[in-house]
Copies of this chain bind each other. A is one copy, B any other.
Amino acid sequence: MALEDRKWHILRTIIDDYIATATPVGSRAISKRPDIALSSATIRNEMSDLEEMGYLDQPHTSAGRVPSDKAYRLYVDQMMRKTDLNDNDIRSIRQVIDKRIGEAGELIAQTARVLSQLTRYPSVAIAPAAVDAAIRHIQLVPVAEGRALAVVVTDAATIHDMLMRVPHGFGADELERYSRMLTARLRGHTLGDATALLETQFGDELRQHRAFFDQIADALQRNARKVGRTPVALGGTSNLFFHPEFKDLEQARSMISVLETEDIMVHLLEPRPQPMQITFTIGGENQLDEMKGASIVTASYRIGPAHMASFGVIGPTRMDYARVVAVLEYLGRSLSEIFTARLQDESQPFDP
């Protein structure tokens, strides 16, 4: 049905125009487009229809129209055309990747930074959650008489450290012995399970050094409980101000306040089951009242075989979705590659 096609064509044109200009788009502006050979009056009729169907809103009677959340949803699901990144964009991303950043915190910080730099929206990156990560190595490092640092490395490439007390007289050797024992018996189990395992696995030693094991259990448990405290990196908050929808101070304030609340961000970016699948949350689809005027676009990437980290951008519903998708996809693919390469690639010869 050609008529319907025309409606969608007009709707897409309106959305594109509004994304580009941020001002309500009028019938005349559309009719002047070279690819639309219709008078403004005809466009007005179509727009009137589209408004009735819920795809357009009118801020007030004598303004142009603005796409509704429903329109954006249709747009990202069906209308959006892929855009390509230009060489500069790709270079920026490669620069981060090629830096061979080793520390996880540093990597997510850089991810958020480059993301916000390329999209001009505030961006977030989060490391994988700790609970279901399996323990790979436990090391008790002496830091002072009676004190040690418990370092736990997981298969999600995350590392956790906790200061703890140790019995007097426990030297480097003792700690080393326990490090090996702990690693041997807890390896492969999750942080969540580990505490319970201490009971069954270390019956004898446990009775002997009750307080010591309590400390270890405590350290493990506190790490496990940090689900809501996953490392979060935020970048480009000040980009918010480039978009007219945040010209209102109160609007900007409450948005920044939300962005700062790590618990909320972790929840919003929750990695999706499918890696590399891009998720859109548009305006009113957000649970949070403060976010009803904003959209979130997220993607995730694999870290090793079982874990995923995610990242995304937050902006006005009038977001340049096509470009954001292009950036997220490229960045996600790059990150997956380096993580897969670093953690799993066993075929590669050692010589660098």
Contact A343 B147 (CB under 8 A): yes
The residue in chain B whose Cβ has the minimal distance to the Cβ of A102 is B162
Contact B137 A142 (CB under 8 A): yes
Nearest CB of B to A214, in Å: 7
In the complex, the answer to whether A229 meets B141 with C-beta atoms within 8 Å is no
B-binding segment of A5-13, A47-55, A233-241: A233-241
Q: Which of B211, B219, B250 contacts A351 (CB 8 A)?
A: B211
Closest CB-CB distance, A185 to chain B, in whole Å? 14
CB < 8 Å neighbour of A102 from B163, B214, B253:
B163
Find the B residue at minimum CB distance from A351.
Answer: B211
A105:B103 contact, CB within 8 angstroms: no
B-contacting residues, A212-238, CB 8 Å: 214-215, 219, 222, 229, 231, 235-238
Query: Chain B interface: which of A25-33, A148-156, A291-299, A314-322?
Result: A148-156
Which residues of chain A have a CB within 8 Å of any CB of chain B?
Answer: 102-106, 136-137, 139, 141-147, 149-151, 153, 155, 157, 159-168, 211, 214-215, 219, 222, 229, 231, 235-238, 241, 247, 249-250, 252-254, 256-257, 260, 342-346, 348-352
User: 17 A-B residue contacts at CB 8 Å?
Assistant: A104-B161, A137-B142, A137-B143, A137-B149, A146-B345, A147-B343, A149-B153, A149-B159, A165-B352, A168-B350, A211-B351, A211-B352, A215-B352, A238-B253, A241-B252, A241-B253, A256-B256
